[in-house]
């Protein structure tokens, strides 16, 4: 799983308040996986959990063998928090694997890269494994995620994305030297698969930019650029 960033040495994080977002809202169902009311573009704050663990647990077979697993579908934000409860550290990336497993990348307090697999249905921790693919660029970006003014966390970014786009998050990763979260979606209600929608969330300010392929037509129908951020500022 592609990993972007994070830092050794975890410190308490102060969440930057979210900002208002571009006046674009989507309506529709959640693709059947997790029934939800239509969402609009509002911003709220949230916390990352705390984490650390050196075990390599593997319960992924539970998805295939226990059809009676209890619990409902959990969100990307909930998956991040559960991963950090199991493996304390800093969460810096998330993927949805086969629409069933949230894969959360964590840099632990002792500086180890780990991947924590969380069942999308029920929220069970399926596996934690060491992942040593981090490089200097990852560590550099990771440093920006620590400190009292570390800004919007991965859990915050997941919640903001869920509140703004009625669809299923596919991946969240750090971009632009760790200054923004890029959120990609597996599907968006009422859209064709090739109509991509991305959110870019500024880690420092919480400003949100909506990149929508459907609107990238060169027209300025609403008097604003297709990539306007909250308040009309570009990212």
As a whole number of angstroms, the distance between CA 149 and CA 136 comes to 22
Could you read off the pLDDT tens digit of each residue along the chain, which spans 235 residues?
544 434 333 333 333 344 333 333 444 444 444 444 444 444 344 444 444 444 454 554 545 434 344 579 999 999 999 999 999 999 999 999 999 999 999 988 888 889 999 999 999 999 999 977 655 666 666 666 766 556 899 999 999 999 999 999 999 999 998 899 999 998 888 776 656 789 999 999 999 999 876 654 444 334 334 444 444 344 4
- pTM for the full predicted model: 0.63
| Sheet of strand 113-119, all strands in order from the earlier edge strand to the far edge | 125-130, 113-119, 101-108, 89-97, 167-175, 180-188, 197-202, 208-212
pLDDT score for 65: 37
The domain limits of the chain are 62-232
Element (H, E) at 90: strand 89-97
> Which DSSP letter does residue 153 get?
-
pLDDT score for 73: 95
As a whole number of angstroms, the distance between CA 163 and CA 165 comes to 6
Catalogue the E-assigned strands of 98-141.
101-108, 113-119, 125-130
> Phi and psi at residue 232, in whole multiples of 5°?
80, 10
> Which DSSP letter does residue 174 get?
E
The string of DSSP codes covering 25-79 is ---S--TTTS-----------------------B-TTHHHH-TT--S-BPPHHHH
CB 201 within 8 A of CB 41: no
pLDDT score for 70: 56
> Which DSSP letter does residue 157 get?
H
pLDDT score for 140: 64
Query: How far is residue 193 CA from its own chain's centroid?
Result: 20
Element (H, E) at 143: helix 136-143
């Amino acid at each position: 799983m592609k990993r972007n960033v994070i830092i050794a040495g975890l410190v308490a994080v102060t969440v930057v308040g979210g900002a208002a977002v571009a006046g674009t809202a989507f309506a529709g169902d959640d693709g059947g996986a997790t029934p939800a009311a239509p969402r609009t573009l509002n911003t709220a704050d949230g916390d990352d959990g705390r984490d650390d663990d050196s075990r390599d647990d593997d319960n992924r077979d539970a998805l295939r063998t226990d059809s009676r697993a209890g619990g409902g579908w959990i969100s990307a934000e909930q998956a991040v928090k559960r991963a950090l409860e199991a493996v304390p550290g800093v969460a810096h990336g998330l993927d949805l694997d086969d629409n069933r497993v949230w894969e959360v990348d964590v840099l632990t307090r002792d500086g180890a890269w780990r991947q924590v697999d969380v069942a999308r249905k029920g929220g069970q921790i399926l596996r934690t494994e060491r992942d040593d693919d981090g490089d200097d660029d990852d560590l550099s970006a990771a440093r920006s995620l620590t400190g009292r003014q570390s800004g919007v966390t991965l859990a915050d970014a997941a919640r903001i994305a869920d509140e703004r786009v009625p669809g299923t998050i596919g991946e969240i990763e750090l971009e632009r030297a760790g200054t923004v979260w890029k959120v990609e979606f597996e599907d968006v209600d009422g859209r064709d698969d090739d109509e991509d929608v991305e959110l870019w969330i500024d880690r420092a300010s919480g400003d949100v930019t909506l990149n929508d392929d459907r609107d990238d037509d060169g027209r300025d129908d609403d008097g604003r650029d297709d990539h306007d951020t909250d308040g009309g500022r570009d990212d």
